[in-house]
Amino acid sequence: MRSTEYAYLDDDGVVYLDYAGAGLAATAQLRAHRDRLTERCFGNPHSENPTSKAATEVVEQARRAVLAHLNADPEEYCAIFTANASAACRLVGEAYPFARGSRFVVSSDNHNSVIGIREFARARGAQVAHLPIDTPELRITDSAVHAALPPHLGVGRPDRARRGLLAYPAQSNFTGVQHPLEWVRVAHENGYDVLLDAAAYLPTNELDLRIVQPDFIPISWYKLFGYPTGVGCLVARRDALARLRRPWFAGGTIAAVSLQGDWHVMTDDETAFEDGTPNFLSIPDVTFGIGWLRDIGLEVVHRRVACLTGWLLDRLQSLTHDNGAPMVRIYGPPDATRRGGTVAFNFLDPDGVVVDERLVATESAAVGISLRTGCFCNPGAGEGAFGIELPVLRRLFRKRLATVEEYVSALGLPSGGAIRVSFGLVSNIADVETFLRFAESAYRNRPATVEGLQPRERC
């Protein structure tokens, strides 16, 4: 399959190790998009004319495909198309009924797009609490979850009495840690809605919404199968969605409106959350992509990625300098137990000094290797990886720092981030071997240096 549907990889000498950033598209996906647009005419779906109905038909087909992929009951869940997972998170944050006395509980191991919901919560007087990362493997303990979500006498009260929202990732985009899906049930029993970030989890794992029943699930489809970009999803429980109150309305979201009368009525279904015209020429590509992934077999992809991840972890931990010092420091689980295909680490020089991630970014790119460096939009996991504690951060907040370089220096960090290698649908043994050869040839017995590196412009 790699040599036919993904031939551009080996034809161009690409070593792609950034599946946590984006999946890759098969030639068949692009061909299906072209064929659909050349064989039929589609128009704006907000009408009753033939081309509008054609667009509505393929968009609704995609909704059904999304729910079927997650084994979600259409009577219980709905699919809302967004620009990406970040936009899905914003939809929840801006409309969730945060108020004084309610809480937003967010895991420290979360993408910025989820952490950013706290700004909506704070603006409405809700309390914000963090689930700490407090284990060597950068996991969050069950006891921390139970402490943050204490039981209360209101369990079993109507849904409108929810105490707040818990948000956490099914899989960390920094370390690959897979957090327990059981926390969804714990949160519900203690009166909380749950936003489960599935963006990093779904490319290689099944999520069955008849078993695990979070209230909100943000998804980016390009992370599952590369194409289309610019189309994400918020899968939501209908009863939880009914509690949201949007702060504005737009074209496509309303059943009726009056300018002079100063009133409006939102639609009574998921379209109330789809602002303007949906991306009706690309949304059908989600249907094809889901079918493509399922035809290959998600279990096959999962098993392959798990094997490659375990092998990379073993090999990285076996790398040493001539003096016996380790070449690599891994952040997160050292083996493939309860983790996904994402590995974060730094190279070390013979004296144990961290090799600057900017140097690795430059030198790996020069030999055609695509990987990720930095903090990966996950500041909590980064703070946990580098042992940055709250008292240090509080002292730092009193200073006026203008650049990332000043921030890194003030914290006394050895580097501005880590290196992230991640596997996916068409990763193979040659990708791993090529990267390991590069690592040994470039950094074995080599002293760390920061000379000639460009300043960091952002995290």
pLDDT digits (tens, 9 = 90+) for 313-349: 999 999 999 999 999 999 999 999 999 999 999 999 9
Q: Are residues 334 and 261 in the same domain?
A: no
Choice among 78, 233, 375, 377 that is catalytic: 377
On whether both 335 and 438 belong to a single domain, the answer is yes
Distance CA 332, CA 347 (A): 15
Residue-number span of the structural domain to which 305 is assigned: 1-21+297-443
Do 305 and 393 lie in a common domain? yes
Residues 30, 36, 40: CA angle, nearest 5 degrees: 160
In a shared domain, residues 290 and 397 = no
User: Tokens 């068409």 label which residue?
Assistant: 426
- Residue 459 catalytic? no
User: Which of 253, 276, 296 finishes a domain?
Assistant: 296
Q: Within a domain: residue 112? A: yes
Question: pLDDT tens across 42-95, in order?
Answer: 999 988 999 999 999 999 999 999 999 999 999 999 999 999 999 999 999 999
Do residue 388 and residue 340 come from a single domain? yes
Q: In what order do the strands lie in the sheet with 418-422?
A: 328-331, 342-347, 418-422, 372-374
pLDDT above 80 for 398 = no
State how far the alpha carbon of 444 is from the alpha carbons of 21, 196, 347, in Å.
28, 40, 9
Do 108 and 85 reside in the same domain of the chain? yes
Q: How many domains does the chain have?
A: 2
417 found inside a domain: yes
- 69 and 155 in a single domain? The answer is yes
| Confidence (pTM) | 0.92
Predicted confidence band of residue 237 (pLDDT cuts 50, 70, 90): very high
Cα–Cα distance measured from residue 24 to residue 227, given in angstroms and rounded to the nearest whole number: 7
